[in-house]
Structure 1
Amino acid sequence: MGKTLYVSQQDCYLCLHQELLVVKRAGAILQQAQLPHLDQILIFGHAQVTTQLIQSCLQRNIPIAYLSHMGYCYGRLQPIQRGNRALQDMQMQLTPKRKLETARQILKAKVHNCRILLLRQRRRKPQVSGEKLALLQRLHTDMDSAQSIDELMGLEGAAAASYYPTLGECLTHVGFEFTTRSRRPPRDPVNAMLSFGYQLLWNHILLLIELQGLDPYQGCLHTSHHNHPCLASDLIEEFRAPIIDSLVLWLINTGVMDPFEDFTDEVEGCLLTQSGRTKFLQAFIQRMEDIVQPSKDPVTGTEEEIPRWALVNHQVQIYRQFVGNQLPFYTPHLIR
């Protein structure tokens, strides 16, 4: 897998010089990237893209995604996809029983990873509520007996209502108070970073799904409404806490983010400023390149140290193998 180019500066001009993608503003070169080495381009806010560059990206199967300042994806330019029809047919033929069990494993992994993240924080911050940790464990166990997707989602909602306020107890810097998750609009800097980070990761997972030939509109947990790629929303769940939530904690508790300079209150809610987006994107890229040890491979039984972006791709491949009947069930990523 190649690289993702993030363009967060406003009023930029993206053009092509031979095989070099050049990002300019007011005549000055801000970024450069070799087009053959790119997997996708994410543009936040306003930018001009030349027809020559668009055509070259379509020929090379490099999608261009347009996102808001908050990271919400408006849409993507990409070539006509043939996909893997046989594999996508197998996705459509997944039985309700297999879908329910996959949804169960995904949400159990999400709650497990949230709890482990809080346990890690508790070693440094004993004020983290032991009662809330015990509740998360009970809800995790209760998911084993859930008989429907709706019942699973209800348990997940109860877990989120306990998890996010406890996550707020782990923040140490003034100006970053956080008691509840608010998405549209994000009401405070912490929610702004969580929303921005989740959208970044969601876009990465969507690309990986398409590269594996899967149908992004055929999921097990979420339903596809208004042409929503629900499989990306399924597979992001197990990675929210270990990738994005932990990154937000680090950015705040190490003093990287400034609650005044890096955020602004607008009609759309609390948004990251240009400086805030730049800091977040730099930290996100570094986090995705960090070497981690994945869960045991269900096929080979081996473990290998790989960068986080490869770990996410590894999970999409496991899902593909599950759909293709190479694996009896989907095994999500669990942190320790």
Structure 2
Amino acid sequence: MGSTRYITSMGELTRKDNSLCFRKDGKNVYIPVENTTEIYCLSEVTLNTKLLDFITSNNIVIHFFNYYEGYSGTYYPKDKYNSGKLLIKQVEAYKDKRLEIAKQIVRIIGVNISEVLYHYYKHDKKEVKGTIDWIRKDFKERIDVVADVKQLMAIEGEVWQRFYGDFKYILPEDFIMNKRVKRPPDNPINALISFGNSLLYTKTISAIYRTHLDQRISFLHEPSEGRFSLSLDISEVFKPVIVYKTIFELVNNKKIQVSRHFDKKVNYCLLNEEGRNIFITAFEERLESVFMHPKLKRKVSYRTAIKLDCYKLIKFIMEDREFTPFSLKEGL
């Protein structure tokens, strides 16, 4: 998986000479640090401060997930990309241009949802046309006249609900979602969405960490204690493209199946280890898939597109250049 390492089973992660060593069931698996930028701990993993010191010196980020496959937190080396000048400008942008930035994020969420649905419309799922038409007219017009971020969040919530409502035309019956349930997910489709969104959120945390942006100062989501709210902002436009397209293809091609890849308990439903591994492989392949960037005149991966959105935001904050997040329609 290149720069990302996933640990999906219980064990101990230690430093062994100048490598990382994961010990599981009495066996050692060595992880080279040279091309590792982030590690995902998706099960109970034991580690110590000696390891964290080694991780810090090699600028590796570690993301931790809980029993319910939800994101718990991130360990990353002390900020070496700090910029006082950008921090001041980012705060000023929050005070003076928050609604402008937030509108662009929500507008592109709609564009990307519409593009994903249009793919299915072209493949004889004509029932999704109502949502596509609503996004292209009513949704767009309401964003233009909205007066504050709270109203904008309500419009964003509506576009997601309409999108979820069309799943019944795209997915087989055993993956139908009655409603979006997050903590913990209560059925297979909610389990896939929660896990996929958490992976994307942490990918965005890693991307922002390697820029001079401050994770805590967001524009669409309310800045709050205990979470990296800017990662929520930047990851949101990529959900239709990366998370949902991955889910639709895995389910419709029967690579993920209800009977084989989920653990269903009384109050929750989770991917089992085999299911997680299938999803992770497809998710990473989606991140590494490329498209031709019309401005850069070269092929760019979706992983790089996340980083480019961070740089677009920096240029808006520092140079007042137009900020338009990644659009599946425009390919940039």
Instruction: Report the secondary structure of 2:222's partner residue.
Output: coil
Deviations 1:234-276 (A, max 9, x none): 0011101011000000110011012022111236621111111
- Using the alignment, how far apart are the partners of 1:225 and 1:167 within structure 2? 32
- Aligned residue for 1:141? 141
> Separation in 1 of the partners of 2:168 and 2:85?
45
- The residue that corresponds to 2:312 in the other structure is 318
- Unpaired stretches in structure 1, ≥5 consecutive residues: none
For the Cα contact (< 8 Å) 1:318–1:330, is it kept in 2? yes
Q: Is 1:48 matched up with 2:41?
A: no
Are residues 95 and 309 of structure 1, via their aligned partners in 2, closer, same or farther at CA, if it must alter by over 3 Å?
A: closer
Q: Which one of 304, 325, 328 corresponds to residue 332 of structure 1?
A: 325
Q: Distance in 2 between matches of 1:292 and 1:151?
A: 34
TM-score, structure 2 as length reference: 0.92
Q: CA RMSD in A?
A: 1.9
User: Are the counterparts in 2 of residues 69 and 272 from structure 1 also a CA contact under 8 Å?
Assistant: no
Task: Please give the alpha-carbon distance, in whole angstroms, between the structure 1 residues aligned to 2:126 and 2:165.
Answer: 12
Partner of 1:303: 297
Q: Where does residue 35 of structure 2 map in the other structure?
A: 37
Residue 289 of structure 1 corresponds to 288
Q: Please, which runs of 5 or more residues in structure 2 have no aligned partner?
A: none
Distance 2:124 2:17 in 1: 53
Give the conservation status (yes or no) of the 8 Å contact 2:287–2:301.
yes
SS at 2:127 equivalent? coil
Q: 1: distance between equivalents of 2:117 and 2:147?
A: 28
Moved more, 190-199 or 257-266: 257-266
Residues 69 and 271 of structure 1 are in contact (CA less than 8 Å); yes or no, is this contact kept in structure 2? no
Q: Tell whether 2:175 aligns with 1:176.
A: yes
Q: Which region of structure 1 is more displaced relative to structure 2, 198-207 or 264-273?
A: 264-273
> For residue 258 of structure 1, what is the aligned residue in structure 2?
257
User: How far is 1:334 from its partner?
Assistant: 0.7
Aligned with 2:321: secondary structure?
coil
Residue in structure 2 matched with residue 102 of structure 1 by the alignment: 101
- Measured in 1, the distance between the counterparts of 2:218 and 2:242 equals 22
Letter in 2 for 1:321: K
Structure 1 position 141, deviation (Å):
2.8
Residue in 1 that maps onto 2:15: 16
* Partner Cα separation in structure 2 for residue 101 and residue 175 of structure 1: 41
Query: Within 1, Cα distance between the matches of 2:111 and 2:264?
Result: 34
Is the 1:70–1:195 contact (alpha carbons within 8 Å) kept by the matching residues of 2?
A: no
Could you say what secondary structure the match of 2:276 adopts? helix
Moved more, 162-171 or 231-240: 162-171
CA contact (8 A) 1:209 1:232 kept: yes
Q: Quote the Cα distance in structure 2 between the aligned partners of 1:240 and 1:44.
A: 20
Instruction: Report the secondary structure of 2:224's partner residue.
Output: coil
Corresponding position of 1:226: 225
Instruction: Trace 1:234-253 onto structure 2 (pairs within 5 A).
Output: 234-253=233-252
Distance in 1 separating the partners of 2:317 and 2:267 = 39
Structure in which a larger fraction of residues adopt helix: 2
Q: Equivalent residue for 1:62?
A: 60
Percent of pairs identical after alignment?
Answer: 21
Shift of 1:140: 2.5
- The 3-state SS of whatever aligns with 1:261 is helix
**SS of 2:204 mapped into structure 1:** helix
State how far apart, in whole Å, the 1-side matches of 2:209 and 2:156 are. Answer: 27
Q: Deviations over 1:305-324 (max 9, x none)?
A: 12221111111111122222
Deviation of 1:127 after TM superposition, in Å, equals 4.0
In structure 2, the residue matched to 1:92 is 91
Distance, in Å, in 1 between the alignment partners of 2:147 and 2:303 is 33
State the 1:8 CA deviation. 1.1
| Distance (whole Å) between structure 1 residues aligned to residue 289 and residue 23 of structure 2 | 29
Residue by residue, what CA displacement relative to the aligned partner does 1:150-176 show, whole Å, maximum 9, x if unpaired?
11111111111211111332013x521
Aligned residue in 2 for 1:111: 110
| Equivalent residue number for residue 154 of structure 2 | 154
- Output the amino acid matched with 1:334: S
What letter matches 1:170 in structure 2? I
**CA offsets, 1:129-164, max 9 Å, x none?**
322222222212321111111111111111112111
Query: How many Å separate the matches in 2 of 1:144 and 1:96?
Result: 20
Kindly indicate whether the alpha-carbon contact (under 8 Å) linking 1:73 and 1:199 is maintained by their aligned counterparts in 2: yes
Give the structure 2 partner of residue 75 of structure 1. 73
2-side partners of 1:148 and 1:306: how far apart? Answer: 34
Partner of 1:64, secondary structure, is: strand
Shift of 1:97: 4.4
* Bigger Cα displacement from structure 2, 198-207 vs 302-311: 302-311
Give the corresponding residue for 2:128.
Answer: 129
- TM superposition shift of 1:194: 0.8
State the distance in 1 between where 2:186 and 2:292 align: 35
CA contact (8 A) 1:222 1:230 kept: yes
Cα shift at 1:75: 2.0
The answer to whether the 8 A contact 1:92-1:218 is kept is: yes
